[in-house]
Amino acid sequence: MPLTIGQVATAADVNIQTIRYYERRGLFPTPRRTPAGYRQYADDAVARLRFIKHAQELGFSLKEIQELLGLRVRHGAACDAVERKTREKIELVQERIRDLHRMKRTLERLAAACAARQPTDDCPILEALEDHGDVDH
């Protein structure tokens, strides 16, 4: 039994307008309609919305998310391409993780220095930041 846009919105905890916005943007397939023009969604629409929100929190843009979701569409014959694109995204994610690890180490150095309360009274965050910023970018 299909869901209305309001039910989907409530289940995924997003605004109705947002769903329509995603549809316009192409992140959401145009759904079937009732004779009266009401949108009808299957349950996976909720999962899709949750994925979008989650991916956004991880810093992916809607465009990137659209690509991620698009991987599903062209399957079968285009499976090679799907795999390639997926591996690219994995690389991207891996890089982001590495960067965050560096950021974490920077912060840990700061916290440690702070805890040691050095007699110099000079909190080393700026030097830490320079180290951080120059590691590889």
Partner DNA sequence: TTACACTATGTACCTAGGTACATGGTCAAG
Partner DNA sequence: CTTGACCATGTACCTAGGTACATAGTGTAA
96 binds, among DNA, a copy of itself, none (CB under 5 to 8 A by kind): a copy of itself
In the complex with DNA, which residue's Cβ is closer, 22 or 106? 22
CB 64 within 8 A of CB 52: no
Minimum distance between the CB of residue 101 and a copy of itself, rounded to whole angstroms? 7
> What are the CB-based long-range contacts (under 8 Å, 24+) for 79-86?
none
Stretch 75-114 residues interacting with a copy of itself (CB under 8 A): 75-76, 79, 82-83, 86-87, 89-90, 93-94, 96-97, 99-101, 103-104, 107-108, 110-111, 114
Outline where the chain has alpha helix (H): 5-12, 16-25, 44-57, 62-73, 79-116, 125-134
